[in-house]
């Protein structure tokens, strides 16, 4: 698993090293952090999401029969209807069309209109406690060596694929090809997609962690292993970087816990009970031997195989 965060500065017809603009990166991070603290835009202000039921409009107001009751607003403050390519808003006797992603102020609240072919309304409340507690975004220190420019290697015949959203919705996307870039002397690729939904322009390119090419930048590790990758992320966090000690410590701690569980399980199957712990210990030595390149570990492995043949 690579310990690098890859930032795409631009998409060019031909790849190559670009100019690392530290000031622009710092300003972008400051802007992002400010947006997370904005009570009318921050995802931390989200207190509810309401999905549309077919063509049925959704009413917002303080009336008890409103689809979404809100405090401190008129009884029938707004009516929102989902359209194939956007939304229609009715309030104060006026009707207007809004694009996906539009924000509608309503009293102290803000309504964010989300489409993605599964339209819904996200209610933002400035009184959300998460605006004070976070979590707020944090970044690695800027590293010019990890800033890259990529070129898009287009598919001869782009094909349609499905990307699962965080809510489990199947979002349609077009596989455009692969983003090719060079990082630390290695040529790497990431799958490039364009979402087929309202609000996604023809020139928009997205990269999702959805297949082997986006799970790791190292070809040998391009497989779907969410538990292993999560463990590596925790090791990286505990060690404040790529420190082998923490990676080894967590692996052997979990391995030791597994041996204990195996011992208690075998204890229920073998008589006398102490033999269960003996078998579990032999399994521990065997696994430790095959996973360790050191000569001593290899000797343990060979000794274990000898005991098997003798038995």
pLDDT, tens digit, 9 for 90 and up, residues 165-201: 777 788 899 999 988 988 878 888 888 999 999 888 8
Contact (CB, 8 A) for 148 and 8? yes
Give strand pairing partners of 51.
Answer: 120
Please give the pLDDT value at position 111. Answer: 97
Task: Flag whether 102 is in a domain.
Answer: yes
Q: Are residues 63 and 122 in the same domain?
A: yes
Token code pair at residue 17: 């090293």
Does the pLDDT at position 299 exceed 80?
no
Higher pLDDT, 291 or 82: 82
Does the pLDDT at position 280 exceed 90?
no
Query: Kind of pairing, strands 103-106 and 186-195?
Result: unpaired
Does the pLDDT at position 249 exceed 70?
yes
287-298 confidence digits (pLDDT tens): 555 455 444 444
Provide the mean pLDDT of the chain. 79
Does the pLDDT at position 160 exceed 70?
yes
* Structural domains of the chain, count: 3
Domain boundary among 74, 99, 127: 127
DSSP H/E element including 275 = helix 274-291
Domain boundary among 201, 223, 245: 223
Q: Are residues 215 and 231 in the same domain?
A: no
Q: What is the dihedral of CA 141, 142, 143, 147, to 10 degrees?
A: 140
Task: Flag whether 151 is in a domain.
Answer: yes
- The residues, ordered by sequence, that sit 6+ positions from 21 with a Cβ below 8 Å of its Cβ are 9
Q: Are residues 250 and 276 in the same domain?
A: yes
Q: Are residues 97 and 238 in the same domain?
A: no
Task: Flag whether 33 is in a domain.
Answer: no
Full domain range(s) for residue 88: 46-127
Token code pair at residue 248: 């080894």
What secondary structure does DSSP assign to 124-168, as a single string? E-TT-THHHH-PPP--PPP-GGGEEEEEEEEEEEEEEEEEE-TTS
Would you call the peptide bond into 60 cis, given omega within 30 degrees of 0 as the criterion? no
Task: Flag whether 53 is in a domain.
Answer: yes
Task: Flag whether 28 is in a domain.
Answer: no
Q: Are residues 219 and 234 in the same domain?
A: no
3-class state of residue 31 by DSSP: helix
Task: Flag whether 238 is in a domain.
Answer: yes
Going by C-alpha positions, the residue among 188, 235, 231 that lies closest to residue 212 is 188
Domain boundary among 93, 127, 161: 127
Q: Are residues 252 and 305 in the same domain?
A: yes
């Amino acid at each position: 698993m690579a310990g690098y965060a890859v930032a795409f500065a631009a998409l060019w017809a031909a790849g190559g090293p670009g100019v690392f603009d530290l000031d622009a990166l710092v300003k972008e991070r400051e802007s992002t952090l400010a947006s997370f603290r904005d009570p009318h835009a921050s995802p931390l202000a989200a207190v509810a999401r309401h999905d549309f039921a077919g063509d049925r409009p959704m009413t917002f107001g303080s009336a008890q029969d409103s689809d979404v009751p809100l405090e401190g607003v008129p009884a029938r403050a707004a009516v929102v209807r989902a359209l194939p390519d956007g939304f229609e808003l009715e309030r104060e006797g006026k009707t207007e069309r809004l694009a996906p992603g539009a924000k509608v102020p309503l009293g102290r609240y803000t309504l964010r209109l989300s489409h993605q072919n599964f339209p819904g309304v996200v209610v933002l409340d400035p009184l959300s406690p998460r605006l004070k507690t976070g979590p707020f975004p944090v970044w690695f220190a800027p590293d010019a060596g990890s800033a890259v420019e990529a070129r898009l290697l287009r598919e001869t015949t782009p094909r349609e694929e499905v990307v699962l959203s965080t809510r489990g919705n199947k979002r349609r996307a077009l596989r455009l090809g692969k983003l090719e870039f060079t990082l630390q002397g290695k040529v790497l690729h990431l799958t490039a997609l364009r979402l087929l939904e309202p609000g996604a322009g023809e020139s928009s390119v997205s990269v999702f962690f959805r297949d082997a090419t986006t799970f790791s930048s190292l070809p040998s590790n391009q497989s779907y292993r969410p538990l292993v990758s999560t463990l590596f992320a925790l090791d990286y966090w505990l060690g404040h970087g790529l420190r082998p000690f923490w990676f080894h410590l967590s692996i052997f701690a979990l391995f030791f816990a597994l041996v204990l569980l195996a011992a208690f399980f075998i204890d229920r199957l073998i008589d006398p009970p102490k033999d269960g712990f003996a078998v579990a210990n032999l399994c521990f030595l065997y696994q430790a031997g095959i996973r360790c390149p050191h000569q001593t570990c290899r000797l343990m492995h060979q000794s274990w195989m000898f005991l098997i043949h003798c038995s």
